[in-house]
Amino acid sequence: MSLGGAAQPFDLFVKDINKSFDGQFAVRGVSFGVRAGQLLALLGPSGCGKTTVLRIIAGLLSPDEGDVRFKDRSVLGTPVHKRGVGILFQNYALFPHYSVAQNVAFGLRMRRMSGTETASRVREALALVRLEGLEERMPHQLSGGQQQRVALARALAIKPLILLLDEPFAALDRKLREAMQIELRALQVSLQLTTVLVTHDQDEALTLADEVAVMRDGWIEQIGSPSDIYARPTSRFVADFVGISNFFMGRLMSGVSGEAVVDAGALQLKPAKVPAEFQAGSNVTVALRPERLQLKIVEPASSGPNQVRARLERVVYRGALSFCHLRLEDGRPLIASLAAGVDSTWISELQPGQIFNVSWDRAANLIIRDESASGVELD
Amino acid sequence: MHRRLFQSFGSAAGMSGPALAAPAVGFLLVFLIVPLAAMLLYSVSARVAGGVLVPAFTLENYARIFTNDLYLRFVIRTLRVALTTTLLCMILSYPLALILAHGNRTFARITMLILVAPLLVNLVIRSYGWTIVLNTRGLLNWLIASVGLPVPGQILYSEAAVVIGCAHLFLPLMVLPLAAAIIRIEPSIMDCGRVFGASEFRVFCHIVLPLSLPGLAAGSALVFPLTAGAYVTPALLGGNFASLLGNLIEQQVVAASNWPFGAALATLLVAILLLVNLIFLKLFERKTARWVHRGR
Ligand SMILES: Nc1ncnc2c1ncn2[C@@H]1O[C@H](COP(=O)(O)OP(=O)(O)OP(=O)(O)O)[C@@H](O)[C@H]1O
Ligand SMILES: [Mg+2]
């Protein structure tokens, strides 16, 4: 939860919603709140129910159970066209028979706003997305990025109570996408728009959001600030979906000095802290982020907790980062990343086949929930 | 209903080349251009005076149409019936097309069945069916009377009967292209309209109606000329009071054996229909020009 936000009321609150199609759950027990002026990202793989949640908020679908509240008033009884939300669909859904200006004016016309006020609002909205001068173009005469901005202007023009964005940047090239993301965030912050953004792109979620809700199979797996989600994933799914993680399964033990240690075969992991839900003696999974690992050529190999010997198999160069694919002596894979600026001397000297001593600090060990591990017996 | 079914008659995928067009051109030449030319020739190459055929180049057959009130009235009535039928079909088509395009599956299937079932029944039999319904003591009047409304009297043998009969016959030709146009409208565009404040009625007025105009144009381009050229339906349902140009032509050719005059009437009918359709399509085109030909 973001600090200091507690004073702000929830503009949007989604409470325990369930929705099934033909007996198949698409959304189950989803709850979250978005405070005034904040942006919440719904992040998850394809088919996990993100769009369904968005359509329920907009009123295009009604939930089987649960409640949707705008400013603490239930809107379940309010039909779609009276909810006052602005939406940007994944495919933009511009009205093909209307010009840019007419598209942007649509919501205002439906609100029976006067001609002069509509015109000034349209001008204002097009200026916000920097599309002045294209008023008379038809949608098919615009580039993808321009269409996307028209769709955004259309949503902004009505000064929506809630702004809903369904994968707004999915169709754009990377450069344009990043530029639009920064623009959108700046707009959203300056206009104080309460926003829900749907995306399957973790970078987008982490870049844009005040809060990220990671969805999986129709439920919310974890909700928190971007740094929470990245640095403190609570489940294997989140650790795997957001960023890259190494996973080690082992038995949680109480060490000699009373400190917890995870015994994972050839290696010992000593975590900084153990969440209360995990008991000593149980099998747990530990996630390790690649950038927390340090490589050293050590002769002879040292031993101890939070370090292990591994052989370098290959290096994948990714510009700012290089990923070292390593293999432990017992065959388990391990990925470590090196930053170009910091570790540059290293990267040029790396040779497949080299043996490294890989080490990490205690805080890097994240004990997480892991359904795939339950029932697995370790020797 | 079934997206693919409708889309399949949207565009003939990328076939081109003179070789491919040759059979069609040949067909048109033999079965359309040649008969039309023959008809035109007939209408100016002879006249009937005192029951005797006088071969000679003449425009008198045309002059006769425009100088005689009786024949002009046929022309006007034909246009009026065709126009009314087209408008009636347009109005009836929207609910049906919406059901076909967006209604639930079973409902759409039943609608489709009801829509095309009449095409499976012989034209004459169907028209006689309508005479039973539209009779002075027919089903319709009986229904009107049984709910206590004033009975309008004889509907059969009036223009209204012809309009009803033709609308019933040609309705599928309006509904199907319309449903095809409606189904091509991106559902998210309609959802977008709803979210931005349009009630279902306004979604229809501002989105469905304008975006389905091409379908409406196609349907009208079929229904109007087919009604104007109708022959069996007006004969059986219109009787002597509401027979159309087609019936007049038949009477001239068969009963009066005046082929040249019949040919002149037929030529005039073709010319009027061409003109009307051209104007009609131009109007639709002007309405939709800004977005329909996106690709070009
Ligand atoms: N109208 C519908 N009828 C039946 N099933 C549906 C319907 N809409 C969605 N579903 C199902 O519900 C689940 C969630 O769909 P949803 O569109 O919300 O996914 P999503 O997270 O938005 O995926 P994507 O990232 O691919 O857009 C899917 O399994 C989908 O098949
Ligand atoms: Mg989606």
Q: What is the 3-state secondary structure (H, E, C) of A275-300?
A: CCCCCCCCEEEEEECHHHCEEECCCC
Q: Which of A25, A27, A48 to mutate to test the pocket of ligand 1 (most atoms within 8 A of CB)?
A: A48
Closest ligand to Cα A53: 1
- The complex's ipTM works out to 0.83
Give residue A7's pLDDT: 58
Give the tens place of pLDDT for each residue, A286-343: 999 999 998 887 665 567 788 888 899 999 988 888 899 999 988 999 999 988 777 6
Query: Is the pLDDT reported for residue A378 higher than 60?
Result: no
C-alpha distance from B189 to closest chain A C-alpha (Å): 5
**CB A205 within 8 Å of CB A172:** no
Tell me whether residues A81 and B210 touch, CB distance under 8 A: no
Split at pLDDT 50, 70, 90, the class of B5 is very low
- Picking from A76-80, A88-92, A234-238, A294-298, which range would have the lowest pLDDT averaged per residue? A294-298
Q: Which CATH superfamily is domain A10-237 in?
A: P-loop containing nucleotide triphosphate hydrolases (3.40.50.300)
Give the tens place of pLDDT for each residue, B64-84: 999 999 999 999 999 999 999
The residue in chain B having the minimum alpha-carbon distance to the alpha carbon of residue A113 is B197
Give residue A312's pLDDT: 92
The alpha carbon of A94 and the centre of ligand 2 are apart by a number of angstroms equal to: 17
d(CA B282, CA B296): 18
- Picking from A163-167, A245-249, B285-289, which range would have the lowest pLDDT averaged per residue? B285-289
A96 and B CB contact within 8 Å? yes
Give residue A1's pLDDT: 43
Ligand 1, atom 24, residue with closest C-alpha: A46
Q: How many CB atoms lie within 10 A of CB A210?
A: 19
How much is the average pLDDT of A200-220? 94
Query: Is the pLDDT reported for residue A123 higher than 90?
Result: yes
State how beta strands A39-43 and A195-199 pair. Answer: parallel
The residue in chain A having the minimum alpha-carbon distance to the alpha carbon of residue B191 is A60
- Picking from A61-75, A105-119, A254-268, which range would have the lowest pLDDT averaged per residue? A254-268
How much is the average pLDDT of B128-142? 85
Residues of chain B positioned with their CB less than 8 A from the CB of A82: 197
Give this prediction's pTM.
0.84
**CB A17 within 8 Å of CB A65:** yes
Give residue A4's pLDDT: 43
Give residue A238's pLDDT: 95
Closest ligand to Cα A46: 1
Share of chain B above pLDDT 90, in %: 58
Give residue A323's pLDDT: 92
Give residue A256's pLDDT: 62
Q: Does residue A46 line the site of ligand 1, with CB under 6 A?
A: yes
Give residue A157's pLDDT: 95
**CB A349 within 8 Å of CB A214:** no
Residues of chain A positioned with their CB less than 8 A from the CB of B199: 79, 81
**ω before A300 within 30° of 0 (cis)?**
yes
Give residue A274's pLDDT: 86
Residues of chain B positioned with their CB less than 8 A from the CB of A140: 291, 294
**CB A27 within 8 Å of CB A14:** no
Share of chain A above pLDDT 90, in %: 64
Average pLDDT over all residues of chain A: 89
Average pLDDT over all residues of chain B: 88
CATH, range A244-374: 2.40.50.140
Ligand 1, atom 4, residue with closest C-alpha: A21
The alpha carbon of A126 and the centre of ligand 2 are apart by a number of angstroms equal to: 26
SS3 labels along chain B: CCHHHHHHCCCCCCCCCHHHHHHHHHHHHHHHHHHHHHHHHHHHHEEEECCEEEECCCCHHHHHHHHCHHHHHHHHHHHHHHHHHHHHHHHHHHHHHHHHHHCCHHHHHHHHHHHHHHHHCCHHHHHHHHHHHHCCCCHHHHHHHHCCCCCCCCCCCCHHHHHHHHHHHHHHHHHHHHHHHHHCCCHHHHHHHHHCCCCHHHHHHHHHHHHCHHHHHHHHHHHHHHHHCCCHHHHHHHCCCCCCHHHHHHHHHHHCCCHHHHHHHHHHHHHHHHHHHHHHHHHHHHHHHHHHCCCC
CATH, range B68-295: 1.10.3720.10
* Domains of chain A by residue range: 10-237, 244-374
Any bridge partners for residue A260, and if so which? A254
How much is the average pLDDT of B232-250? 90
d(CA B81, CA B280): 16
Instruction: Show the DSSP H helices in chain A as ranges.
Output: 50-58, 100-110, 115-128, 144-157, 174-191, 202-208, 226-231, 236-241, 344-349
* Domains of chain B by residue range: 68-295
- Please give the residue that has the higher pLDDT: either A170 or A135: A135
Residues of chain A positioned with their CB less than 8 A from the CB of B284: none
Query: Is the pLDDT reported for residue A5 higher than 50?
Result: no
Split at pLDDT 50, 70, 90, the class of B1 is very low
Tell me whether residues B193 and A106 touch, CB distance under 8 A: yes
Give residue A302's pLDDT: 63
How much is the average pLDDT of A113-120? 95
Give residue B10's pLDDT: 42
- Picking from A74-78, A208-212, A277-281, B35-39, which range would have the lowest pLDDT averaged per residue? A277-281
- Please give the residue that has the higher pLDDT: either A371 or A2: A371
C-alpha distance from A205 to closest chain B C-alpha (Å): 24
